[in-house]
Amino acid sequence: MAANQFERNGKGRKVLKELFANPEKASMIHYSCEGFYNLPDGRSPRITSIAIRKLDNAQTESFSIHQVAEIRGTGLTGAEIGPYYNEYEKAMLDAYFAFLKTNSERKFIHWNMRDQNYGFRAIEHRYRVLGGDPYIIQDDRKIDLSRLLIDLYGVSYISHPRIENLAEKNSIQALDFMTGKQEAEAFENGKHVDLHRSTLRKVDVFCNFAQRAFDKSLKTNSSWKEAHGLSWKTAIYLSKKHWDIQP
């Protein structure tokens, strides 16, 4: 029999407790990239910015195209960066993977960074395309906050788009925050600094979600009973699972 909401909530609480028991060993990660739905040639989307924020003290490491461009003495507009994009992207990812290697003990909390389309594997693939050899974070060191919140509060805890609606419900300011569509448009318009700011803002918002979920102050559309899966169905499910009561 599949696990029900009561068990998923308990599992989620355990994950949060472990993360906040050692917050110095956990970081929130997010990145921005080229829009991946409209690439005409089927190639992998180029990456423009990555942010990694420590859970304990909010210290944030960031890696971005415009930072590399500034160091190299290039202008920061899309037109000025364009001719050197692959070179600068490779340099950015060199620094990112070097950081991962020296912080291999950390757990990385993310939002839907799960596959080859968007996620850790997408970044690894892009680095290989550029000639790099990525350091691989093992899956047991990755925690998907989007799935964790579903475990904690149920699938209907907030309406889509979940990030924006959850931030609004909790009065979390969204300064510099861009939606996925807005980020894709910003990339096309060469607004790499704006993308970087959005990425930084998102790791801040996600850390806010995680902290409020941990201290049980996060506001959602789920009632206390719905989040904890308390119902007659749960009682019957648990009685059958744990005491093997025959019908």
Low-confidence ranges of the chain (pLDDT < 70): 1-3, 40, 230-247
Burial class (CB in 10 A: 0-12, 13-18, 19+), 129: middle
- Both structure tokens of 217: 């102050």
* CATH architecture of the domain with residue range 5-243: 2-Layer Sandwich (3.30)
pLDDT of residue 239: 57
CA 63/CA 90 separation, integer angstroms: 11
Radius of gyration in angstroms for the set of CA atoms belonging to the chain, rounded to a whole number: 20
Instruction: Write down the pTM of the prediction.
Output: 0.91
CA 7/CA 234 separation, integer angstroms: 9
What lies within 8 Å, CB to CB, of 116 at 6+ separation is: 122, 125
- Both structure tokens of 117: 């389309």
pLDDT of residue 40: 67
